[in-house]
A and B are shown apart, each in its own frame.
Chain A
Amino acid sequence: KNEVEQSPQNLTAQEGEFITINCSYSVGISALHWLQQHPGGGIVSLFMLSSGKKKHGRLIATINIQEKHSSLHITASHPRDSAVYICAASIQGAQKLVFGQGTRLTINP
């Protein structure tokens, strides 16, 4: 079992739908990251969270430290949101990230 698990692995939705991607982790973390990877490989950091909730535009990320769970939400989804979304945990006391397997999101027009 991976230390960081994401669900679902694949998600297809229609434009405008509200999207939720989940991440659970089993290790002690100093922060939780959400990353976006577009076709071609480039990775962009969306959020870094250690508690609570962050919002950037139509993206919202939440974390529950007690439950070791984080969610990424996309409101009013758009085809340009189609990408792989990756959850990554900064391991407490170590300078390393442990990654989930990613969620491939496809938004159809």
Chain B
Amino acid sequence: ETGVTQTPRHLVMGMTNKKSLKCEQHLGHNAMYWYKQSAKKPLELMFVYNFKEQTENNSVPSRFSPECPNSSHLFLHLHTLQPEDSALYLCASSQVGGTTDTQYFGPGTRLTVL
């Protein structure tokens, strides 16, 4: 596997379900990000992790809970979501402190909350 991978690619869940999104980066980067892309809205930053430590929480509701066990893996745990949380969730990684802060994106997980 190369680049940034995300699983699952599609997820349908009820409002009472608990599920997790997984992201893995194979680029040796030290920072990882979760973004949300809702229909007809710009991409929104949700969380930033540097060296496994959360450095940004962009006022995200507590029903979204991130976890970064190491610099290659990032999870987004979901519970009691609302239909308006249906969106494309994108993970990205970058090398902080290098010559470029280009972020590399995964393919996204398209989430539908019923």
A residues lining the B interface (CB < 8 Å) = 2, 4, 30-31, 33, 35, 40-45, 48, 86, 88, 90, 95-102
Docked Cα-Cα span, A101 to B96, in Å, equals 25
B88 at the interface (CB under 8 A from A): yes
The listed residue with most B CB atoms (<10 A of its CB), out of A2, A43, A88, A95, is: A43
15 contacts between A and B (CB under 8 A): A30-B101, A40-B107, A41-B90, A41-B110, A42-B105, A43-B90, A43-B105, A88-B43, A95-B48, A96-B48, A96-B58, A97-B45, A99-B42, A100-B42, A101-B42
Q: At the interface, yes or no: B66 with Cβ under 8 Å from chain A?
A: no
Known: A43-B108, A96-B56, A101-B40. 9 other contacts (CB 8 A): A4-B42, A33-B102, A41-B37, A41-B110, A48-B102, A86-B43, A96-B48, A97-B103, A99-B44
- In the assembled complex, which residues on chain B have CB atoms less than 8 Å from the CB atom of A41? 37, 88, 90, 107-108, 110
CB distance from B48 to the nearest CB of A (A): 6
State in angstroms the CA–CA spacing of A43 and B33 once bound together.
14
Closest to A4 in B: B42
Query: How distant is B33 from chain A, measured CB to nearest CB, in Å?
Result: 8
| Chain A residues within 8 Å of B104, by CB | 45
How far is A33 from B45 in the complex, measured between Cα atoms in Å?
A: 15
Which of A40, A44, A96, A100 interacts with B105 by CB under 8 Å?
Answer: A44
A35 and B102 alpha carbons, distance in the complex (Å): 10
